[in-house]
Structure 1
Amino acid sequence: MSGLEFKPSNTPQTTQIDYQQLRSGSDVRAVAMENPGGKPVLLTNEVAKTVACAFAIWLAKQENCQLSDLTISVGRDSRLSGEALQGAIAVGLSERSCRVYSCDIASTPAMFMTTRTEPINASGAIMVTASHHPAHMNGMKFIKRGGGLSSDELKEVLTTAQTLKSGSAAPQGEIQQIDFMKIYAEQLRNMIMDGVKDSADRRFPLAGLKIAVDASHGVSGFFSTDVLAPLGADVSGSQYLEPDGNFPAHKPNPEDPEAMASICRRVTEVGADLGVIFDTDGDRVALVDRHGQSLGGNRLVALAAAVVLKDHPGSWIVVDSIVSPHVIEFIENLGGQVCVHKRGYNNVIKRGKELDHEMQPNGCYLAIECSGHAALKDNYWLDDGAYLAVRLIVEAANMSARGENLGDLTAELVEPKEEVAVRIPISGESARLCAEAVIERLREFVTAQPGWSVVPRGDEGVRIAVPHGCVVLRPSVHDPELALNIETDEPGGIKPVIETLAGFFTQFERLNLDKLSKLR
């Protein structure tokens, strides 16, 4: 073992816990610090250590090897609880005889790349992150060589964790500190140098481009300083690059309106050609064009699809359940084929892999959510915000050399006149079952509404065509809530839809309609 020192936990140790309650989709996510709401701390150092050991046992079984044959890399985002959790995880894996690469602050995609990069070739990886969630939360993402764990695979890991006894043993495996972000940044730089075709100097393919990066005080400041700047880009307008687990600037979430407004303002203030904003752990991204217009959400889906279809005409694109019908039409008009699938980044990626196998010769090359999660076939189906940003920046550089703008690719995309997204909390137990019952009842309700009809497209919730618009209602992936999205092509068209839905929802006592009522 190396001479690394890890800070002891400042959180209480939990002796009895139902490990399954830590699961949120395919990730572990829980309160990791004292917080203003007084929620109990569940993800302590000891709990994280136990879960990590269970992952190692699961991985050894998958690899048909001994624990001592495993090499596992461990990284973390900028959260205040991350350093201690990462340290506990590293020590726990070492006690199980695994070799550990400690990567300190790193992005989730970079941790995956430790399993694909010589000479590291990690057997698996653990990323300590809670993505865009509040600072007192933290979590763990688990990676094998084939990608992230599924929800069912995580259930197996947590079942094993429940059987393990806590305690310490003499470390057996080496813990080695590595700066993998330096390697990862070089990989991204090489992609840009190879992709920009009309550069006067291959060493500086981004010369003449001004790009403002907003790292949200997460891990992605490196994208500005270590990827774009060395290639000649002017990154002087970048902001919030320093890791800070308090997230003082704005929520570390490209879907958050205030976060997007911040980077949009920045682009116009500094006269940038392009803006890029990341979430905390770097697996989600959104862009801003030179006019300060957001290229996130539906626009990002359309833009990414347009770029992919230029290289792979006629291929399939997997999108998530809340995507606008205008985006579906846009992709189909470009010759692409669209599969609407249930939300959750692992869900769309899994479906993308399946379609690529099933739908030859066209195959599938992109699986993307409106949230900014995107995975491409030519990047190991890895959910990587930086890789998508690189692909789009390369396209922007090549278009700029021709006097064109990246936003031109989506000029034909029809935009709704109004759109709204609202969450409806569900009280009590078995929220998922309640959500599904509400959705089933809504399907019946729709048949009696003039001009309303269920659209048989998608594998989640219900999609409804309404006069001049669309409604999607689905269970939240992570929280005990219903997620409602409405868009219309008619000014003032949302209000009557909300009025009708609000009347329908009032029959369900477990639904908290306060947020919806504010929109009436």
Structure 2
Amino acid sequence: MIDLSRIVKAYDVRGTVPDQLNEPVAEALGRAFVQTLRNRGEFAEKIVTAHDMRASGPALATAFANGARAEGADVLEAGLGSTDLLYYASGVLDLPGAMFTASHNPAQYNGIKLCKQGAKPVGQDSGLAEIRERAQQILDGGSRVREGELKGGLEQYSLLERYATHLLKLVDLSDIRPLTVVVDAGNGMGGYTVPAVLGSGLPLTIIPLYFELDGTFPNHEANPLEPANLVDLQAKVRETGADIGLAFDGDADRCFVVDERGEAVSPSVITAMVAVRELEKDPGATIIHNLITSKVVPEIVREHGGQPVRTRVGHSFIKGEMARTGAVFGGEHSAHYYFRDFWGADTGMLAALHTLALLGSQAAPLSALAKDFERYAASGEINSTVADTAGKMAEIEQAFPVEIDRLDGITLTFPDGSWANVRPSNTEPLLRLNVEAPTAERMAALRDEMLAVIRR
């Protein structure tokens, strides 16, 4: 018997196919999704679905649709799409949605990202726990939906052109200087959306890498957060003399940036750069950043008259704060970027457009622009396997008697302005460490001190 507690995570569904996630599971989740929305008094007469390039996506999406239709909901199938295309559909059509993707996970995985109408998030505290319980009961009962039980209708509807048009209305690239842009889609959905958004009528020369949709990821994992997966992009930027490189993850909701030297630009730097652009349009606005972004983000926001708000790590927390505060923009160090103009949802493509607009609006190279936003040295996220995460965090507090806050795990702030965050994984026996300091030497020393305690 499948145990859904193993695949229904804090923010989405993620598991291996077919042993953990298969058509009966998807069907049960489709039924449970509609049941939960209705039980909570939220609209569920129609839902929209999309799937990425993984081979299992179409069958899982169809099974989920059958479950929803058995509960009387109509289903609009958008077909192939990126996660932010699904959010666009949910926002513009004001429908709940389900995106079938395992994002950057290896080929044997698939998953489901759910949202309410208007692209509002569904997490453990906003319906996902109830969906899991209802779906588990349906699975344990053993019954499957039969053809005659499909009460709701089914419609196919392509949204790619409308999605591209919407994004290009939000960021005008028509007057920028010509740019050469290398894009590594990693055989993921960027290979589908980038040509539609950036492919014609703009002063851009696009050099594509791995645009062929292939859920087996034959060239490298579609996870640009790992430096090894940026190597091909960096080499191509240097080889071609391009102005910028962009790398998208598997479902193309995250975008990573490489400068003209082939050097990676920190997502915190991109957050600060985009924040400045948004504050120019909306002076005094609120900008959201999670607690592992660089200190440069709130500093830059304040210097430009904005109001920074710090949140826990995770898209449901960012989206919740976006809604609560009316923030114009939010950024995470994992390269998720959230926009009020995009229903508070995350879209890597819109962040890429802002970066291209900023670069193309003046003559300096990207490395020079980024330098103004680089004030500190960061370790990046370092994972350590720890059996007793709570006990280890208590040990860290004793070893480092400094200022501590507990917004998400523990964040230690040192007298010289250095900080370290240690937080447990939601799904694995891991502690995640992030360190930032005024210099690379201080960062390395503090990182090693922290790891010595975590791993002893």
Question: TM-score if structure 1 supplies the norm length?
Answer: 0.79
| 2:103 paired residue number | 131
Q: How does 1:439-454 map to 2 (within 5 A)?
A: 439-447=393-401, 453-454=402-403
- Retained in 2: the 8 A contact 1:340–1:459? no
Between 1:166-175 and 1:411-420, the stretch displaced more is 411-420
Q: 2:337 aligns with which of 356, 359, 374?
A: 374
Highest RCO, 1 vs 2 (Cα 8 Å, sep ≥ 6):
2
Structure 2 counterparts to residues 35-74 of structure 1, below 5 A: 41-63=19-41, 70-74=45-49
For the residues of structure 1 that align with 2:272 and 2:37, how far apart are their CA atoms? Answer: 37
Distance, in Å, in 2 between the alignment partners of 1:159 and 1:176 is 29
* Contact 2:191 2:211 survives alignment (8 Å): yes
1:143 aligns with 2:115: yes
Q: 2:425 aligns with which of 476, 495, 502?
A: 476
Show the 5 A alignment for 1:393-404: 393-397=356-360, 399-400=361-362, 403-404=363-364
Q: In 1, distance between residues paired with 2:332 and 2:164?
A: 24
- Which letter maps to 2:12? D
What is the identity, as a one-letter code, of the residue corresponding to 1:168? V
Deviations 1:128-151 (A, max 9, x none): 111111211111111111412122
Partner AA of 1:290 in structure 2:
E
Correspondence for 1:208: 178
Structure 1 231/167 Cα, relative in aligned 2: closer, same or farther at 3 Å? same
1:265 aligns with 2:235: yes
Percentage of identical aligned residues? 25
Alpha-carbon shift at residue 494 of structure 1 (Å): 4.6
- Larger CA Rg, structure 1 vs 2: 1
Query: Structure 1 residues 463 and 254 mapped into 2: Cα distance closer, same or farther (>3 Å)?
Result: farther
What residue identity is the alignment partner of 1:185?
A
Offset, 1:415: 4.1
Q: Which residue of 2 aligns with 1:25?
A: 10
Deviation digits for residues 271-302 of structure 1 (CA, Å, limit 9, x no counterpart): 22222221111211122233333224222222
**Unaligned 5+ runs, structure 2:** none
SS in 1 for 2:272: helix
Deviations 1:3-31 (A, max 9, x none): xxxxxxxxxxxxx2332332211101111
Q: Output the CA distance in 1 between the equivalents of 2:408 and 2:377.
A: 26
Conserved? CA contact 2:270–2:355, under 8 Å: no
1:505 and 1:209, CA in 2 relative to 1: closer, same or farther beyond 3 A?
closer
Residues 491, 394 of structure 1: CA spacing in aligned structure 2 closer, same or farther, 3 A cutoff? Answer: closer
Q: Answer yes or no: is 1:187 the counterpart of 2:141.
A: no
**Contact preservation (8 Å) 2:437, 2:443:** yes
Distance in structure 1 (CA, Å) of the matches to 2:440 and 2:206 = 39
SS at match of 1:115: helix
Partner of residue 389, structure 2: 435
| CA deviation after TM superposition for structure 1 residue 370, in Å | 0.6
**Are 1:424 and 2:412 an aligned pair?**
no
CA offset digits 1:151-200 (Å, max 9, x no partner)? 221001111112224312223322222222232123223434xx24xx4x
Matched-pair contact (CA < 8 Å) for 1:375–1:382: yes
Structure 2 match to 1:154: 128
What's the counterpart of residue 313 of structure 2? 343
Q: Which moved more, 1:209-218 or 1:496-505?
A: 496-505
Q: SS of 1:126's equivalent? A: strand
Give the 3 Å change call, closer, same or farther, for CA 396–207 of structure 1 in structure 2.
closer
Q: Name the CA shift for 1:231/1:191 in 2 (closer, same or farther; >3 Å).
A: farther
1:463 to 392, 405, 412: 412
Q: 1:456 to 1:506 in 2, by over 3 A?
A: closer
Shift of 1:417: 4.8
Q: Is the 8 A contact 1:344 1:477 kept in 2?
A: no
